[in-house]
Amino acid sequence: MRARPRLADGTGPVLVVLLVLLVALAFAGPAYAEPSGYLALLKRAAPLVVLAVGQYFVIASGGFDLSVGSLVTAEVVVAARLVDGDDANTWWVIASLLGCGLLVGLVNGLITTKLLVPSFIVTLGMLLVLDGAVFLWSGGAPRGALSPSFRVLGRGSADVGVLGQVPWSVVVLLVVVVAAAWFMRSGTGRMLLAVGDNENVVRLAGGRVDRLRLLAFVLSALLASVAAILLAGFAGVSAQVGEGLEFRAITAVVLGGVLLGGGRGSVVAAAAGALSLEALFSLLNLLGVSGALESAVQGVIIIAAVAYAAHGAGLRRMLRRPVPHPA
């Protein structure tokens, strides 16, 4: 038996995909000749990576969270109105956005676990509710403006000694990914995966399945709020800012080899999936492919990734071919 560094199952392929895309970018665009190009990519990808990490928790535990896109929109629109361009409002508004996220996550999670409505339906309903609420409240055109201090997180940079200027959003991204990876190594994280695999076993072992599920939804909504804060700063205020982000996050997670239905996959792979997706879109952009194709590309990826997961074992065996039988 040969020892090898342990990557969580399924992390390998997405890292290869990511590497290929990053190398391709270097060939495709002069901007990627220097590290700053990649740093800009990371900065751009930060909101999606954060969303994908949140989505990962829900998918790994056996659910879906379709509400994150409209939650992002709602929070950006609300933030602009409440901050109203005044720096003094920045911090309490950020705190209340996180509070809103917490609330939405709790509602999603409680309805799923207590009323036994499938999460797909609950969060789809939440998507529509939030969409409607935003439209009602803003009348279609968001009012107000964000303060400069609010926008720093999304577009500003921090001075990090030898590394020079590192965008705040990249700092947030790293903190989120490291914290999530650490969490998934903890007992609670392992239980979350076990719930997605076979919730009976966890329940019969004395575990609190409902609480674990609830936790996943709360984490997802909280991270969606973080993504909203980053995105507001980066992209500005509009009523379309979060459109389609839920599917993009799901695509990213699936691309990371996480099994739909739960029980398998690593959070680092999900984050790498998000980064790959963003890198792919940048590459297509550089190659002059119309942005209109983005959603089509995303559709193909999500189907291909799930098909690969379904037939993965067989495909891998075909590719690997006969290993001479053990002596």
Give the binding site for other proteins (CB under 8 A). 1, 6, 9, 186-188, 190-191, 193-194, 197-198, 200-208, 259, 263-264, 325-326
Nearer to other proteins, 190 or 311 (CB): 190
Selection from 51, 98, 46 nearest residue 75 by Cα: 98
Residue 167, classed as helix, strand or coil, is strand
97's tokens: 């956005």
- Which residue type, as a one-letter code, is found at position 50? V
Q: What is residue 165's three-state secondary structure?
A: strand
8 versus 41: smaller Cβ distance to other proteins: 8
Residue with Cβ nearer other proteins (194 or 245): 194
> Reduced to 3 states, what is the DSSP secondary structure of residue 157?
strand
Question: Of 155 and 211, which CB lies nearer to other proteins in the complex structure?
Answer: 211
3-class DSSP assignment, residue 164: strand
4 vs 161 by CB, closer to other proteins: 4
Task: Note whether 239 and 135 are within 8 A (CB).
Answer: yes
Minimum CB separation of residue 326 from other proteins in Å reads 6
**Nearest approach, Cβ of 198 to other proteins (angstroms)?**
5
Question: Whose Cβ is closer to other proteins: residue 142's or residue 262's?
Answer: 262
CB of 12 to other proteins, least distance (A): 15
CB of 264 to other proteins, least distance (A): 5
Rank residues 204 and 287 by Cβ distance to other proteins and give the closer one. 204
Q: At its nearest, how many Å lie between other proteins and the CB of residue 155?
A: 40
Alpha helices in the chain (DSSP H): 11-28, 35-60, 68-83, 90-114, 119-138, 148-155, 168-185, 187-197, 199-204, 209-235, 245-255, 267-286, 294-320
Closest approach, Cβ 202 to other proteins, in A, equals 6
Ramachandran category for residue 208: left, alpha or beta (phi over 0 → left; psi -120 to 50 → alpha):
beta
What minimum distance in Å lies between the beta carbon of 229 and other proteins? 32
What is the CB-side half-sphere exposure of residue 237 using CA atoms within 13 A? 25
Half-sphere exposure of 25 (CA within 13 A, CB side): 27
Q: Between 233 and 256, whose beta carbon lies closer to other proteins?
A: 256
**CB of 128 within 8 A of CB of 69?**
no
Half-sphere CA count of 185, side-chain side, radius 13 A: 9
How near is the Cβ of 191 to other proteins at its closest, in Å?
6
Q: Is 116 left (phi over 0), alpha (psi -120 to 50) or beta?
A: left
> In the numeric block, which tokens belong to residue 86?
């005044």
